């Protein structure tokens, strides 16, 4: 699924959490790279810059070697100076042609939740590849992929997320697959008219469940309510929540002010945010064919 994975490592526990999630998303053939981005240095003098860079390289090298030895992961080590962590990770992802960037949560996060700080937020916005975010404390407790969930709404992007979920479920020995749709009527529909009746709400939910059930091999969930709130509740029972991009441009344009942006910042489980780059790398038609073929072969 993911061939080249970059894992952001810093001085805090978020790097260990990211390594643990990267291991869960990697396959035997996946090439992993532990990366540390250090701040650039003002050009006061060339000699001063050289001294600073040497110190930063030595510090980063020691940090990455310690993380690799502590976790026992087989990975290359890369360090890079950049004006910001996010920009450095993006440049590295492009130079290595990575298809997944894994980052950890803000170290002040309540354990078991995703809450990304400024550096990770920049890494998420405008990412050139898929981005996975590990909850705080992820490396400290067992985390088998028992259930993978998808935020679904019937769009091509959510269909792609379903196809990715099928491949990951296969990779994890047939993990349970589910999908969730939060349905609602637009607020302008209620101007001057009563709120929808219970029958209308029930019909909307039934239609959503039918759409998901028709996909085959996926447990369907749907409720009437605001997507941000209901998807967060749904995510509490998952080992991974996959979000599809609805934009053909950088993920930052998609995420700003959107439901996906909210969930990527505060989800109660690991989050995998897909971008257009993922769809270009492995077309949805190919992924879907492979996923459905695997289902047939398994007697689903």
Domain count, the chain: 2
- Cβ–Cβ < 8 Å for 69, 111: no
Q: What percent of the chain has pLDDT over 90?
A: 40
3 state SS for 252-271: HHHHCCCHHHHHHHHCCCCE
What b/e sequence results for 275-300 when a residue is b if at least 16 CB atoms lie within 10 Å of its CB, and e otherwise? bbbbbeebebeebbeebbebbeeeee
Which residue's structure tokens are 């532990």?
34
Statement to judge: residues 74 and 213 lie in one domain: no
Q: What's the confidence (pLDDT) of residue 267?
A: 75
Both structure tokens of 33: 């790279």
Which distant-in-sequence residues (6+ apart) come within 8 Å of 18 by Cβ?
7, 8, 9, 102, 103, 104, 134
Statement to judge: residues 3 and 86 lie in one domain: yes
Q: Tell me which residue range forms the domain holding 224.
A: 144-300
Q: What's the confidence (pLDDT) of residue 261?
A: 61
Statement to judge: residues 153 and 217 lie in one domain: yes
Statement to judge: residues 295 and 157 lie in one domain: yes
Instruction: Read off the CATH number of the domain in which 188 is found.
Output: 3.40.50.620
- Bridge partners of 176, per DSSP, are 147
Q: Which of 143, 159, 184 represents a domain boundary (last residue)?
A: 143
- The better pLDDT of the pair 291, 234 is held by 234
Rounded mean pLDDT, 220-234: 89
Statement to judge: residues 156 and 65 lie in one domain: no
Statement to judge: residues 185 and 135 lie in one domain: no
pLDDT, tens only, 170-216? 999 989 999 999 998 765 454 555 667 888 889 999 999 999 999 99
Which distant-in-sequence residues (6+ apart) come within 8 Å of 247 by Cβ?
253, 254, 276
Q: Measuring CA to CA, which residue among 184, 31, 175 is closest to residue 96?
A: 31
Q: What's the confidence (pLDDT) of residue 12?
A: 78
pLDDT band per the 50, 70, 90 thresholds, residue 137: confident
Q: Which of 93, 112, 143 represents a domain boundary (last residue)?
A: 143
d(CA 32, CA 122): 21
Q: Which of 143, 172, 190 represents a domain boundary (last residue)?
A: 143
Rounded mean pLDDT, 71-87: 88
């Amino acid at each position: 699924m993911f061939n080249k994975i970059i894992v952001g490592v810093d001085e805090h526990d978020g790097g260990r959490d990211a390594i643990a999630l990267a291991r869960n998303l990697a396959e035997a053939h996946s090439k992993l790279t532990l990366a540390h981005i250090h701040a650039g240095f003002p050009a006061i003098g060339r000699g001063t810059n050289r001294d600073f860079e040497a110190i930063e390289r030595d510090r980063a090298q020691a940090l990455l070697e310690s993380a690799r030895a502590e976790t026992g992961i087989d990975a290359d080590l890369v360090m890079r100076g950049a004006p910001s962590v996010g920009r450095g990770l993006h440049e590295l992802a492009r130079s290595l042609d990575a298809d997944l960037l894994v980052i950890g949560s803000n170290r002040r996060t309540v354990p078991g939740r995703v809450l990304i700080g400024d550096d990770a937020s920049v890494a998420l916005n405008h990412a050139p590849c898929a981005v996975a975010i590990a909850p705080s404390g992820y490396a400290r407790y067992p985390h088998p992929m028992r259930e993978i969930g998808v935020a679904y709404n019937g769009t091509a992007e959510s269909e792609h997320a379903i196809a990715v979920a099928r491949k990951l479920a296969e990779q994890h020995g047939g993990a349970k697959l589910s999908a969730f749709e939060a349905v609602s009527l637009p607020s302008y529909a209620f101007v001057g008219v009563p709120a929808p009746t219970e029958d209308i709400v029930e019909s909307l939910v039934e239609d959503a469940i039918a759409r998901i059930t028709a996909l085959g091999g996926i447990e369907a969930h749907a409720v009437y309510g605001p997507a941000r709130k209901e998807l967060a509740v749904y995510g509490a029972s998952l080992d991974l929540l996959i979000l599809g991009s609805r934009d053909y441009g950088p993920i930052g344009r998609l995420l700003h002010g959107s439901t996906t942006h909210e969930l990527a910042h505060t989800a109660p489980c690991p989050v995998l945010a897909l971008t257009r780059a993922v769809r270009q790398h492995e077309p949805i038609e190919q992924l879907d064919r492979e996923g459905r073929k695997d289902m047939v072969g398994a007697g689903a």
